[in-house]
């Protein structure tokens, strides 16, 4: 699929914000983004409006445009939502996941487990992101998958903000192994418990850094 300039701008800027290459609170300068991304003012502005709607960008009439700051209340709010939404996702996934989905999930989890000893957190985060995207997609509910990805991006940004203080064990990859095993077995309760552990371990690890 060929992306429009607005879609390209959105994806590129979102990646910079989520990985904290553009750090929380940073001033956003349209001219600098135009030069860096090689895109015009209109797609940049349209992309920033989309990111504002996803709470990654904040606009102040008097002060300008900023990468949305991170504070401790964000973590609690995200955990409240994900503790419900992720349970819905695994319940639906247990009913609708395909053998191909499961094979890909297992491949990514095994790849992540193999990469754990090297301690490359950025690579592990990329694999975690792919896993959650595929899990959301396996519900066969596009609206749910889209909302899940937006929330995941907000959570991931917090991870990246504290990345230097975290270690591979903080990702609770063993819980994701259990999620795949549970989905394969069609055990909804086990899948929910494993995903709940994955979410709570995430929050506990971040709180230790704050």
pLDDT category, 61, cuts 50, 70, 90?
confident
Query: Phi/psi at 186 (nearest 5 deg)?
Result: 70, 25
Which two three-digit tokens encode residue 184? 């394969």
Question: Same structural domain for residues 178 and 79?
Answer: yes
Q: Answer whether 122's CB lies under 8 Å from 181's CB.
A: no
What's the token pair of residue 126?
């990329």
- Which of 2-11, 70-79, 164-173 has the highest mean predicted lDDT (pLDDT)? 2-11
pLDDT winner (highest mean) among 56-65, 163-172, 178-187, 198-207: 178-187
For residue 55, the enclosing domain spans 5-67
Strands (E) across 19-146 are located at: 57-60, 64-67
Q: What is the pLDDT of residue 19?
A: 95
Q: What is the pLDDT of residue 115?
A: 87
Specify the DSSP class assigned to residue 204. Answer: H
Residues 56 and 79 in one domain: no
Residues in the chain: 210
Residues 91, 170, single domain; the answer is yes
Same domain for 19 and 111, yes or no, is no
Contact 93, 182 (CB under 8 A): no
Query: In CATH, what number is assigned to the domain containing residue 104?
Result: 1.20.120.530
Last-in-domain residue among 67, 97, 112 = 67
Q: How far is 105 from 191, CA to CA, in rounded Å?
A: 14
**Among residues 67, 86, 109, which one ends one of the domains?**
67
How much is the mean pLDDT over the chain? 93
pLDDT of residue 145: 95
Q: Of 138 and 118, which is predicted with more confidence?
A: 138
Tens-place pLDDT, residues 197-207: 999 998 898 88
- Judge whether residue 55 has pLDDT over 80: yes
According to DSSP, the β-strands at 64-67 and 57-60 are antiparallel
According to the model, what pLDDT value does residue 32 have?
96
**54 & 79 share domain:** no
Paired tokens of 155: 């959570």
Same domain, 62 and 84: no
The answer to whether 94 and 135 have CB atoms below 8 angstroms apart is no
Q: Are residues 83 and 183 in the same domain?
A: yes
Q: What pLDDT does 142 receive?
A: 96
Percent of the chain surpassing pLDDT 90: 75
Assess whether 86 and 138 both reside in one domain: yes
pLDDT (average), residues 56-74: 91
d(CA 144, CA 88): 9
Q: How many domains, in total, are found in the chain?
A: 2
Angle, helices 173-185 vs 121-137, to 10°: value is 20
The 8-class DSSP code of residue 40 comes to: -
Domain match, 63 and 82 both: no
The pLDDT of residue 161: 94
Q: What is the largest CA-CA distance in the chain?
A: 56
Q: Over the stretch 4-50, which tens digit does the pLDDT of each residue have?
A: 999 999 999 999 999 999 999 999 999 999 999 999 999 999 999 99
pLDDT (tens digit per residue) in 84-119: 999 999 999 999 999 999 999 999 999 988 888 888
**Token pair of 16, please?**
């910079």
The CATH number for 23's domain is 1.10.10.10
169 and 126, same structural domain? Answer: yes
Show which of 67, 88, 121 is a domain's final residue. Answer: 67
Do 28 and 110 have their domain in common? no
Please indicate, yes or no, whether residues 172 and 87 belong to a single structural domain of this protein: yes
Mean pLDDT of 168-191: 93
Q: Is the pLDDT of residue 63 over 90?
A: no
């Amino acid at each position: 699929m060929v992306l429009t300039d607005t879609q390209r701008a959105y994806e590129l800027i979102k990646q910079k914000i989520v990985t904290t290459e553009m750090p929380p609170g940073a001033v956003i300068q349209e001219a600098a983004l135009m030069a860096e991304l090689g895109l015009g003012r209109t797609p940049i502005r349209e992309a920033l409006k989309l990111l504002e709607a996803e709470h990654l960008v904040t606009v102040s009439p008097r002060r300008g445009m900023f990468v949305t700051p991170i504070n401790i209340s964000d973590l609690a709010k995200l955990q409240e939502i994900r503790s419900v939404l992720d349970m819905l996702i695994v319940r639906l996934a247990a009913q609708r996941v395909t053998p191909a989905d499961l094979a890909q999930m297992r491949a990514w989890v095994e790849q992540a487990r193999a990469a754990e000893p090297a301690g490359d957190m950025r690579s592990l985060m990329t694999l975690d992101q792919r896993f959650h995207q595929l899990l959301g997609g396996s519900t066969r509910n596009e609206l749910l998958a889209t909302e899940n990805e937006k929330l995941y991006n907000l959570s991931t940004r917090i991870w990246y903000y504290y990345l230097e203080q975290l270690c591979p064990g903080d990702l609770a990859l063993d819980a994701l192994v259990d999620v795949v095993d549970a989905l394969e077995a069609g055990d909804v309760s086990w899948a929910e418990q494993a995903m709940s552990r994955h979410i709570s371990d995430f929050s506990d690890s971040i709180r230790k850094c704050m």
